[in-house]
């Protein structure tokens, strides 16, 4: 009986994907500059993402739509898993969809950023 070979992602592959969640820095700038501050507490990353997906009444429109927010959340979860498991439970089959989708997510982010800039200008 043959056993199925499982590809483990390299540390470099996983690190590159985890660091790809740098979009959060843009979220932080919007929150501080336009919304008056960052969320607090241990779930502040999730709260910040939710804040970006919603409009701030009288201040700004939503930065990203709900569909993109859900996709970005998967990268946020991966970054957390990567940081706190040190790559111990990372399997390529779980990492692959994120790696293959990252280009499209960033394309959508660029488009929504351009739209956001037009709306607040």
In angstroms, rounded to a whole number, what is the distance separating the alpha carbons of residues 113 and 11? Answer: 31
Which pTM value belongs to this model?
0.80
Integer CA distances (angstroms), 100 to 42, 110, 118, in order: 30, 17, 29
For residue range 70-99, list pLDDT tens digits in order: 999 998 988 888 777 755 567 777 788 888
Integer CA distances (angstroms), 17 to 3, 30, 69, 91, 109, in order: 28, 23, 17, 13, 16
Our CA angle for 27, 90, 21, nearest 5°, is 10
pLDDT value for 103: 86
- Between these two residues, 55 and 98, which has the higher pLDDT value? 55
C-alpha 74: how far from chain center: 7
């Amino acid at each position: 009986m043959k056993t199925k070979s499982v590809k483990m992602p390299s540390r470099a592959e996983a690190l590159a994907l985890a660091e790809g969640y740098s979009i959060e820095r843009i979220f932080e700038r919007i929150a501080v500059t336009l919304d008056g501050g960052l969320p607090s507490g241990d779930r502040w990353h999730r709260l910040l993402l939710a804040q970006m997906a919603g409009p701030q009444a009288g201040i700004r429109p939503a930065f990203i739509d709900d569909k993109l927010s859900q996709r970005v959340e998967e990268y946020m979860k991966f970054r957390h898993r990567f940081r706190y498991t040190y790559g111990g439970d990372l399997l390529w089959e779980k990492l692959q969809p994120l790696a293959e989708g990252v280009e499209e997510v960033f394309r959508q982010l660029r488009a929504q950023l351009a739209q956001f800039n037009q709306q607040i200008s």
